[in-house]
Structure formats: structure tokens, C-alpha cells
Chain A
Amino acid sequence: MIIELGHHALVLAFLVALLQGTVPLVGAARRDLALMELGRSAALVQLLALAGAFAALTHAYVTSDFSVLNVAENSHSMKPMLYKVTGVWGNHEGSMLLWVLVLAAFGLAVALRGHGLPAVLKARVLAIQGLLGAGFLGFILLTSNPFLRLDPVPADGRDLNPLLQDPGLAFHPPMLYLGYVGFSVAFSFSVAALIEGRVDPAWARWVRPWTLAAWSALTAGIALGSWWAYYELGWGGWWYWDPVENASFMPWLAGTALLHSAIVVEKRDALKSWTILLAIIAFGFSLMGTFLVRSGVLTSVHAFAVDPDRGLYILVLLAVTIGGALALFAFRAPAMAQGSLFRPISREGGLVANNLLLATATATVCVGTLYPLFLDAATGEKVSVGPPFFHATFVPVMLPAVLLAGIGPMLAWKRADLEGVFTRLRFAALVAGAVALLTWLLQHGHHPGPVIGLALAAWLAASTLIEWTGRVGLFRRRGIVARIIGLPRSAHGMTLAHLGLAVFICGAVGDSFWRREVVVDATPGAVAELAGYRVVLEDIRSGNGPNYEAEVVRLRVERDGEAIGELRPERRFYPVQGTRTTEAAIRSRPLGDLYAAVGEGRTPEHRTLRLWHAPLVPWIWAGALMMVTGGLVSLSDRRLRVGAPRRTPGPVTQPAGGD
């Protein structure tokens, strides 16, 4: 019964989304306020209907209703409650339902928050959100209905892949979707602006908070997924340049560029058509990610079992939305290309360079990811584009971007005094030089990678701090607190995010160049030594979980002859799916992780013990967390809150200020 209600709610949401997607557009064209207002109520009804549908599916999972095909295929009565709930989005159909739910939530948020928004613009934005919703709801209803019944009803379900039964994954997909779908708002604003044929600084001020929210969520989502891969898959890697990873990275790169270019629109009324294009591209990559994951055109040998109808439907959806938006762009953008005067050496010049580099990086990842597909379709040749390609291309493009991120925030708008900036940055250059020298001297083997990487990170951190201390006047005597509070939150947010990038780079460098590994065949009592640690295999025990059998290997960690901790890597067997997993054990300290995983050994008594010392890995997550926090702090800036009056400038803001 509840399932049927859920299905009906889904159909209702589809119909309402169609209304939301059409009526306000007509209203906007006719300047009919009543028709335009329909978008708001439709957005509310759509969200309520989808929340109902989602609740119905969740109810089926929680009560283990195996008469529902989707539940029977992806759940099990013995599964812990947390994973019964997160299992709702651990499969294709459920994750699509979550996707449209998030989309509808963003739609309603626009409807509720956009008080200062002109009625026509708002009506159009809501209508485009409605059309997107209708497209995806149609997809779910036609190809991926989660409410299909199963007859006869099986005694129990097939369970969720044990690898996905993990707390880290509970929040990864929702975060990722908040990011992907969040870019839909910027997309809708762009298409609405194109229909209107007008973009002004106010438009950028309305778009920026949504972009910031989406960007923060996407950053968190990617970081969570990366963290999960690191501790759960037992390979100790955190980024593989896998097509599916790249699919989430491309919208992130485009979204990062968009965040920066929107500032130029807001402050200088320039880069308008470029910013609109970036918004379309960021959302386009989000959709492309969905397509790539679900169509099977790029994944692996196991991909052919994918339903080609689904791939085709998403491709058509992609062609209509993104193709349509780009056609509109080609048609309307030339008319509004006029911007204000522009000098290369200025804040806006720096942001243009930032965008050039980020766009190049996005293009590089995109071409690298899709090239095997192109070459295969064009000539039938098969090539692989793996991590070595991305290391050789993406990294060199990002190096100058990081260098620039240190300089850019110090440049004044319109015309900057480059000499003055360099004077202020002398100290940062000194720090970077010292770090480079120290790294060169201290590391084993003179590899240039860590030297360049850490020096750049130091440069970015130092110059960001110099800029921030300059603005809050840390070295002036009185009123520091007032000045810190007085500074726009977006300035603090930028500082935090750029520092986060510097911290992240340290982590990436440490792990990529200094990781040490020991692999031994061990029985109880065996000893392995690594990076100053002595690891003793104490015993092997069995311990069972709610829906798995486990073998726990206890390792004693010693340093300088003293026991300092214990690691308990596990091997698990999940009988329902007949799947084995390894649960790595990690001892995480600020300077690095000690990582242990066990595998089958040469004899029944032996275990293959794999130990890594991964320097600075926690910095990767810390850096990501700082970026997310920076985004959120910036989001809380009063000026970005839609409808809030522009704050009168505080006395402490420096002329070179802004964000």
C-alpha cells in the first residue's frame, strides 16, 4: 500500500514538475504574475510529493519489504539499520530518486529565498528547475522505477554489497548529489539570463551563494568518497584517476572556475558570457558524470550488462538540456558580450588567468577521460589513459594556478601595483625558498617533485596569511578583533579555502613521494619494521558482526621498544553475497598514517601482512575540510544572502580589498 502511494507520489511529482516547467515560462513571457507565481507552489508540491515517495521507499527498506523488487535486490533483513537506510541510495533506482529529491529541494529553496529576485527572472529559474525535474522523473518512471513489485515474494533479500556497508559511505552520495544538483541552480539562472538577454552584477550576487553551496557539498562529497576508498578498499590509495572519479572531478574544476569568475561579474560587470558558459559547463559535467556511470560506455569489461535504454535516455536528456542551453548561448550571448574595461595586471586579470588555467585543467581531465572512447569509435584502436598521463599533464597545469593563487588576492581591482604586491610577497618567497631547500636536503634521494610541491604549498600558505593579516591589520595595535569581525566573511572564507588547498597539496605530495611499504608473510609472533615502527603480529581471532563473519588480526605497534598502540585489521566474509572484504586498520597521526591490511597467506597459518607508512595523508582530508569550511564561511557572508541589503563598508577595509 505504502509502496503504491510512493509510486503515485512519484507520478504526481512528474506532473507537477511539468506544470512548474511550463506555466511560469508562459507567465514570464506574458508578464502575468499569477501564472509566474504558480512556480512557487508547484515547487513546494513537487518537493512534498518526492519527499513522500522517498519516505515510502525508505519505509520499505526499514521494514525489509521484499515484495518490492528494489528492496529484495539490495537489502537483507539481517543488515544493520544504518545500512538499511543508506541502502536506499546504494543502488541505481534509489540514487536517482535521491537525485530528484535534492533537485526539488533546491527548487523550493530558490522559491523561498529569492525575495530580492525580479519576478520574471525567478519564474524562469523555477521553470527551468521544473523542466530538469520532469526530465529526470520521466527517466525514473520509464527506466528505473524503484517501486516495482516482485511476485512471488522472496524469503529474504540479496543484500547490499558489503563494500558499501560503511559509515563513510552513508553521507558520500547525498553530499555528491548536493554538489551535482546544486549546480543546477547556477545553470537555471544562466539559462534564464540568456532568455532575458541580460546579466548584471546583481545576477552574479544571486548566483554565487548557490554555486558556493554546491561547490562546498561537492568538495565534501569527493573528499568523503576518496577517504572511503582509502580506508575501505585496502589499497591505501585515495585517487586513481579512474573515469568515474574524473566524472566527479570535472564539475568540481568547472565549479571552482565559476566561483572565481562570478566574482568578476559581481565586482566589475565583466566576464559575463564566460560565467554563464561556465555555469552551463559545470552542470553539464555533473550530468555527464551521471551518464558515464550509468550507461557503461566507459567503465569496464563488466559494463555490458547495463541497460542501454537508460544510457540512451540520459544521453537524450543531456543533449536536450545542455545542448539546448549551449544553443541558446550561441544565439543570445554575443548580444550581451559587452563588458567593462579590463587590464591584464589587476585582480580581474588574475581571475581571468585563474579561469584560463582551471579551464585548461578541466579540458585536460575531460580529454584524458574520454579519449579512449573517441579513438575506439574513430579508428577502432584501443588505448588506456591512466594515472601517468594525468600526472604528466594535469599537475603542470595546476602548478602556475597555485602560484597565482598566492598573488591574485593581493592585486587591486582595475589596475594593480605589481611592484607593491611583490614587495609584500618577499616574505612568502623567502618561506617557499626555505621550504624548498629543507625538503631538498632532508628527503632521501633528491626527487624534485616534493621540493616543488611543498615550496608551492608554503608559498600559497604564506602569501594567503600575509594577505589576511594585512587586511585585518594584525600588526597594528588596537581593534584587531573588531577588524577581524568587520572583514567580510567571504574574505575569511577565501583565506581558509586557499590555506586548505596548501594543506591538501602537502598531503598529496607526502603520500605520492614518501610512502613506504612492507609486505610480509606472517604468523603470530612475526615482526615487521617500517619507518621507525616495529609491528608485531600478536594473534588472529575470530569475531562476528551482525551480518558477517570476521577474522581479526591483532598487531602491536612499537616505537623505540615501547608499545604505543594496536592495529586490528580484519578480513570479513558476508555469507549472503558470498563476498569477502578486507577492513584496513589505520593509526592516524598528524604527520602520517600507519596503515595495515591483511590477506590470505601462503599456508592456512600464514597471513599476508601489508603495512604502509603514508606521510601527511591526514593533511589531504584536513585540507578538504578547510576548503569546505571556507566555502561555508563565505556562504554566511551577509552580502551573499539573497535579499540582504549591501553592507555599508566598514572603516577597516583596505582599498585593495574585496574578495
Chain B
Amino acid sequence: MARVVFLLPLVLFAVVAGYFAVPLLTGRDPGELPSALIDRPVPDMALPPLFEGAPGLASDDLRGGVTLVNFFASWCLPCRAEHPVLTRLAKSETLHGISYKDDPARTRAWLAELGDPFERIGTDTSGRTAIEWGVYGVPETYIIDRDGRIRYRHAGPVTRAVLEDEILPLLRSLREAAS
């Protein structure tokens, strides 16, 4: 019994060191936050359109098919970086955009310059809708299933690797599950 007590510090230390090793060895980013809304229905919203005469974006638009939603802004540099990847993605998928806390004129100019990959665009000038979605920075990209539930969130720019390794496989499996 007495000897066990003397072993205790070593055991506790080993446990702590083991936990330290996990993020270092797996290369997992401890700062990455999972969304609290995974498997939840998309928040209620009815956003005004960016372009006059075009449709806005409402919760109902996100039901009935697998869709993607991207929060972006013209003032956001990483958004510019991910734009080519999104443009490629939009060729085969339904991608909606929500412009976050941005001046509509600037957003329009930005899209005119880089190209507009979005099916529908809603404007969230106050940032309130983004809070409903649990957005903590732009860009963020969400995948919504046929029932209008959020299945995936990626924070930060969508890179080619994220697209190939995470987004496309999930989209495929969501389609297979439906058919």
C-alpha cells in the first residue's frame, strides 16, 4: 500500500504528459472549434437579397436538397483566397452565400471582380444571422442536408485539401443516404 502512494506522482505525471503528447503527435489544432449546431435544423432567417430583384436567402431555401452555405465578406482576405475553390465547387453543387457585415455595394464590386459562384445571396449587415449560426469568423462554410439540417462546418478558408478530404466525400455520402 505504502509503495503505491509513492508511485502516485509518477502515474499522475505520465497521464498529464500523455495528454500533452496527443495534440502534438496528432497535429490536431487545439484552437479549432466544432459547431454547436451540427445535426440541428438551420436557424430561422429571411435575408434580403444582395442584388435588386434577385431572390434573398431564407431557411426554406435550404430544404429539399443538399446545399452549401458560405459566409463571406469583401473585407475578408481569406475569403479572396478560397474564392477559386468555391468557384470550382459551385460548378457541381448548390452554393449559397451570406455576405457578413459588409456594404452591399462593395460586395457587389467584389463579386464583379472575382466572379459570382453563389446561387442565392443573402445580406446579413447586422451580423445577427451569423450569430444565430454560431459563426465566429469569416469565411465559414456549412453543408446542409435535404431535411435542412446542418451537417458540417468548416471555419477558415476552404482549401483544396479540405474540399477533397472532407467536403466532397460528405456530399457524396449524403446523396447516397438519400437515394
Contacts and interface: CB of A to CB of B under 8 A. Distances in A.
Instruction: Check whether chain A touches chain B (CB < 8 angstroms).
Output: yes
Interface of A: 273, 277, 280-281, 284, 291, 295-298, 300-304, 308, 311-312, 315, 318-319, 322-323, 326-327, 329-330, 333-334, 337, 370, 373-374, 376-377, 380, 382
B31 A303 contact: yes
B31 A334 contact: no
B20 A326 contact: no
Contacts of A308: 24, 27
Contacts of A382: 33-34
Contacts of B10: 323, 326-327, 329-330
Contacts of B2: 334, 337
A281 B9 contact: yes
A182 B33 CA distance: 38
A201 B33 CA distance: 53
A303 B24 CA distance: 12
A329 B12 CA distance: 13
B14 interface: yes
B7 A330 contact: yes
A274 to B, nearest CB: 11
Interface in B32-80: 33-34
A277 B7 CA distance: 11
B164 interface: no
B24 A315 contact: yes
B110 to A, nearest CB: 24
Contacts of B113: none
Given A281-B9, A303-B30, A323 B17 contact: yes
15 contacts: A277-B9, A296-B30, A304-B31, A315-B21, A319-B17, A323-B10, A326-B9, A326-B13, A329-B10, A330-B3, A334-B3, A334-B6, A370-B19, A373-B20, A380-B34
Contacts of B3: 330, 334
A297 to B, nearest CB: 5
Contacts of A380: 34
A297 B24 contact: yes
Contacts of A327: 10
Nearest to A300: B31
A329 B17 contact: no
A377 B19 contact: yes
A267 B20 CA distance: 39
B102 to A, nearest CB: 21
Contact of A323 (B7, B13, B24, B34): B13
Contacts of A301: 31
Contacts of B14: 323
A297 B9 contact: no
Contacts of B7: 330
B16 interface: yes
B121 to A, nearest CB: 28
B13 A298 contact: no
Most chain B CB inside 10 Å of its own CB: which residue of A277, A281, A301, A319: A301
B115 interface: no
Nearest to B4: A330
B34 A297 contact: no
Contact of A370 (B6, B16, B21): B16
B87 to A, nearest CB: 27
A291 B20 contact: yes
10 nearest CB pairs, A to B: A301-B31, A326-B10, A377-B22, A330-B7, A330-B6, A304-B29, A297-B23, A326-B9, A311-B24, A330-B10
A296 B10 CA distance: 24
B31 A373 contact: no
Contacts of B13: 284, 322-323, 326
Nearest to B27: A308
Contacts of A291: 20
Contact of A373 (B9, B25, B30, B34): B30
Contacts of A284: 13
Nearest to A337: B2
A319 to B, nearest CB: 5
Nearest to B10: A326
Which of B14, B29, B31 has the most CB atoms of chain A within a 10 A radius of its CB?
A: B31
A376 B30 CA distance: 8
Nearest to B32: A301
Given A296-B30, A382-B34, 16 more contacts: A280-B9, A295-B24, A297-B24, A298-B30, A304-B31, A308-B24, A312-B21, A323-B10, A327-B10, A333-B6, A334-B3, A337-B2, A370-B19, A373-B23, A380-B34, A382-B33
A327 B6 CA distance: 9
A302 B137 CA distance: 13
A273 B3 CA distance: 12
A297 B2 CA distance: 35
Contact of A318 (B17, B23, B30, B33): B17
Contacts of A337: 2
A184 to B, nearest CB: 17
Given A273-B6, A303-B31, A326-B9, A377 B17 contact: no
A504 to B, nearest CB: 30
Nearest to A331: B6
Contacts of B19: 370, 373-374, 377
A272 to B, nearest CB: 12
B157 to A, nearest CB: 14
A302 B29 CA distance: 10
A300 B30 CA distance: 8
Contacts of B9: 277, 280-281, 326, 329-330
A416 B95 CA distance: 79
Contacts of A376: 30
B18 to A, nearest CB: 9
A130 B119 CA distance: 67
Nearest to B155: A301
Contacts of A319: 17
A296 B27 CA distance: 11
Contacts of B27: 308
Nearest to B136: A301
A323 B18 CA distance: 12
A322 B13 CA distance: 8
Contacts of B30: 296-298, 303, 373, 376
Nearest to B156: A301
Contacts of A312: 21, 24-25
A532 to B, nearest CB: 40
B6 A329 contact: yes
Contacts of B29: 303-304
Nearest to A382: B33
Instruction: Identify which of B16, B20, B23 gathers the most chain A CB atoms within 10 Å of its CB.
Output: B20
A315 B21 CA distance: 7
Contacts of B24: 295, 297, 308, 311-312, 315
Contacts of A330: 3, 6-7, 9-10
Nearest to B16: A370
A284 B12 CA distance: 12
B139 to A, nearest CB: 15
A315 B6 contact: no
A315 B17 contact: yes
A242 B16 CA distance: 19
Contact of A297 (B6, B20, B33): B20
Contacts of A326: 9-10, 13
